[in-house]
Chains A and B, each alone.
Chain A
Amino acid sequence: MSNLKNLALSATVSATALMAAGSASAVEIEYWQYFFEARVTAMEQLIENFEAANPDITVKMTHFPYADYRTKVAAAVPAGEGPDVVQLFYGWLNDYMDAELIQPLPTDVFPPARIEAEFFPMVGAMERDGAYMALPTAVRSLALFYNERLFEEAGIDGPPETLDELVETAKALTKRDGAGNVTQVGLTTGMTGQDHHWFREVLTRQHGSTPYTDDYQTVTYNDEGGLAALNFYTGLQSEHGVTVTGFMDEAQAAFKAGRAGMHIDGSFRIGALNNTRGLKWGVAELPAGPTGIRSNYSSYWVNAITTKAEGERYEAAVKFMDYITSDEAMQIWLDTVGELPAKPSVGMTEANANDPVFGPFIRGLEYAHTTIFADESAQRGALVDMVQRIELEGQDPAESLATAAAADQAILDAYYNR
């Protein structure tokens, strides 16, 4: 009987203590991101560390399937129902800034000069009117994946260093059946995958052109260099026969199945390839251009503070932002998710920069560009159509390039002039 009494008493005491603790930690902030298991695990760990260091703040994480995420956020944030700190794709940020749904980061905690010094250069796109609007924990870049077994079989020593070597290597890796149909491609291609980034930010620059003006509001790839880049790209299939557009439906599927010697893709593909049985693969930096120019495309998800966070919650949100953009957080993110740190101080450490898998991606960040899209899927469509007009309708490449540039410019104009 007294046992039971004791139990009841202790239960009451501990409940009261819990409630007291609850009222002391008055601030709860909400964090939203899309569901990807490793990202959620990493964020849980970050939240745990953060709460241990800041016992008066609790962070509640909510996640949604990727397919619904953009619409959910766009519906919830304007309605004031959303999170205090939200993860957004960098390309969506303009719209959120224009609609005043996110707040600038306070310059005392995040001084622009310090951010410029500490982060990789492409993060500069997040600055507006002397303050940063958002910051990434991790970034992504492109690299050349290659199938080590197929390389060995074809007697190739290592991945190509230049575009010329890329073509030669791809030739050695291509296989055809008796009727001449390609059954194994040297290099996967398809503007619907990551190739539109490769063309825009890498190939055009390597052929002496630029994709856009620095503010990304004017198309500049419709020139000699752009045409040379396009001819190189379509030549892979039409001239050298080392690839077939959309081979095996999806480039990454062809690579996974061991039917493609090389494949250009983002760092987010590492996880999927790691679990593929029987596939031995390596990674190399994207090949350098004819004049030795190297370039890369980088994209990232940023964390931003919404206008919903005010007062205490705002203070808490700033502290949380400060932690999730710290060196420690970036290392945890790299180890758990496999996404690249946004700061050279973490990325370019001896261990990370020379990592056989992450190294080529991280080294690529140093010379990477981040396209500021007005409408990524529509702008991608312009390049998809450009190549299809040449391949399916036999249009003159120069003409097709001009049409694509005009379509791309029309999308930019519609966005910036409204």
Chain B
Amino acid sequence: MFRYSNLTVAQKQVVWAWGFLALPILFYVVIRFYPTFGAMVLSFQDWNLLGDKSWTGFDNYAKLFADPVFWKVFGNTFLYLGIGTPVSLVISFFIAYHLDKVRFMHGFLRALYFLPFLTSAVAMAWVWRWFYQPVPIGLFNNFLASAGIPQFPFLNSTTWALPSILAPAVWAGLGFQIIIFMAGLRAIPQSYYEAARIDGVSNWTILWEITLPLLKPTLVFLVVFSSIGFLRIFDHVFNMTTNNPGGPLNSTKPLVLMIYDTAFNSFDMGYAAAQTVVLFLVLLTVSLVQLRIMRDR
């Protein structure tokens, strides 16, 4: 018979460890894994939230792959990723690299860069949405009009709407990336730089041969982190295009918005679940590929 008092100290430690671990495990199983599994099962069913679920095999996936909107949305999602991640990393590294050398009002400047990260994405998206409006209310277009330049169709163009939405999203994430980059820069031992300077190496070489290679762990983290962020972009797009979510003509619609629309406007839960599974696989693949490419050889 099991008696706690009969256990050895090592066994007791194991019991306690599992006792404490049980809570997060239970949490993860109930809150994460069970719904994830449920979504995967649901993707093979037809359900409108009200009636009974019925099995449909691969119908939802067949419908998805035959849907031109899905491919458009799939392309958009990778545009957000393909433009957003490199642009935001280059800008944030540039700022972090120079901010690191600034002594004057260093803390204040850093706070300024970090501020957008603290701002609610919804509020920010609405302010930018108004910036982008045509005259008479849009800030940018009012400025252009007063300078005698024709208006620019920021959000009202199938070409420019996506970059217009991406700009504030990149800006919002900068603060966080700058802080992480600066932490990475500070972690590089000064002695390497001193040695390089004694050898009379140019700044450019120092950047390429010392700073960047030693920043690799930081880079890997930021690339993966911001990639996942851009693949899951939703609030900025949704709030800047609430009148016609993902418009004009689906040119800004990311996968997450399509999932939301299918689930909570069309109430086609099975189809939405199939889209979610696809998003999950995309996120998994992208993260694994990035980790593989960027890990130390």
Contacts and interface: CB of A to CB of B under 8 A. Distances in A.
A384 B222 CA distance: 38
B162 to A, nearest CB: 14
Contacts of B135: 177, 181-183
A381 interface: yes
A400 to B, nearest CB: 11
A21 interface: no
A375 B266 contact: yes
B157 A392 contact: yes
Interface in B21-61: 46, 48-52
A375 B263 CA distance: 12
Nearest to B46: A418
Nearest to A181: B135
Contacts of A190: 243
B236 interface: no
A71 B134 contact: no
B211 interface: no
B249 interface: yes
A393 B134 contact: no
A377 B265 contact: yes
Contacts of B158: 392-393
A384 to B, nearest CB: 5
A98 B51 contact: yes
Contacts of B51: 78, 95, 98-99
Interface stretch (A24-32, A43-51, A215-223, A244-252): A244-252
B49 A74 contact: yes
B285 interface: no
Contact of A177 (B48, B145, B248): B145
Contacts, number: 80
- Which bucket holds chain B's interface residue count? 20 to 34
Given A250-B243, A375-B265, A377-B265, A181 B249 contact: no
Given A181-B151, A392-B157, A77 B50 contact: yes
A248 B49 CA distance: 37
Nearest to B49: A74
Contacts of A39: none
B137 interface: yes
Contacts of A181: 134-136, 145, 151
Contacts of A183: 135-136
Interface in B239-255: 243-244, 247-250
A181 B147 CA distance: 13
A375 to B, nearest CB: 5
Contacts of A9: none
A177, A392, A418 interface centre (most CB from chain B within 10 Å)? A392
B156 interface: yes
A77 B248 CA distance: 36
A181 B152 CA distance: 12
A248 B266 contact: no
Contacts of B52: 99
Contacts of A249: 129-130, 133, 137, 243
Interface in A169-210: 177, 179, 181-183, 190, 192-193
Interface in B208-248: 243-244, 247-248
Interface in A73-89: 74-75, 77-78
Contacts of B151: 181
B249 A389 contact: yes
Contact of A392 (B48, B243, B248, B267): B248
Contacts of A385: 247, 249-250
A418 B248 CA distance: 30
A212 interface: no
Nearest to A75: B49
Interface in B155-176: 156-158
B143 interface: no
B148 interface: yes
B18 interface: no
Interface centre among B52, B156, B248, B250 (most CB of A within 10 A): B248
B274 to A, nearest CB: 15
B16 interface: no
Nearest to A247: B134
A45 to B, nearest CB: 31
A388 interface: yes
Interface in B103-138: 129-130, 133-137
Interface string B174-218: 000000000000000000000000000000000000000000000
Nearest to A375: B266
A179 B243 contact: no
A192 B244 contact: yes
A32 B150 CA distance: 52
A75 B267 CA distance: 12
A96 interface: yes
A359 to B, nearest CB: 30
Contact of B156 (A179, A182, A392): A392
A13 interface: no
A95 B48 CA distance: 8
Nearest to A192: B243
A317 to B, nearest CB: 20
Given A95-B51, A98-B51, A248-B136, A392 B145 contact: no
B94 interface: no
B80 to A, nearest CB: 20
B264 interface: yes
Contacts of A375: 265-266
A179 B134 CA distance: 13
Contacts of B264: 70-71
A38 interface: no
Contacts of A96: 50
A99 B50 contact: yes
A410 to B, nearest CB: 10
26 contacts: A75-B49, A78-B51, A95-B48, A95-B50, A95-B267, A96-B50, A99-B51, A177-B135, A177-B145, A179-B150, A181-B134, A183-B136, A192-B244, A246-B156, A247-B134, A248-B136, A249-B137, A259-B136, A375-B266, A377-B265, A377-B266, A385-B247, A388-B247, A388-B248, A389-B249, A392-B249
Given A181-B145, A183-B136, 14 more contacts: A70-B264, A74-B49, A74-B50, A95-B50, A95-B267, A99-B51, A192-B244, A246-B243, A249-B129, A375-B265, A384-B247, A385-B250, A388-B247, A392-B248
Closest 8 CB pairs of A and B: A99-B51, A99-B50, A192-B243, A377-B265, A74-B49, A181-B135, A183-B136, A388-B248
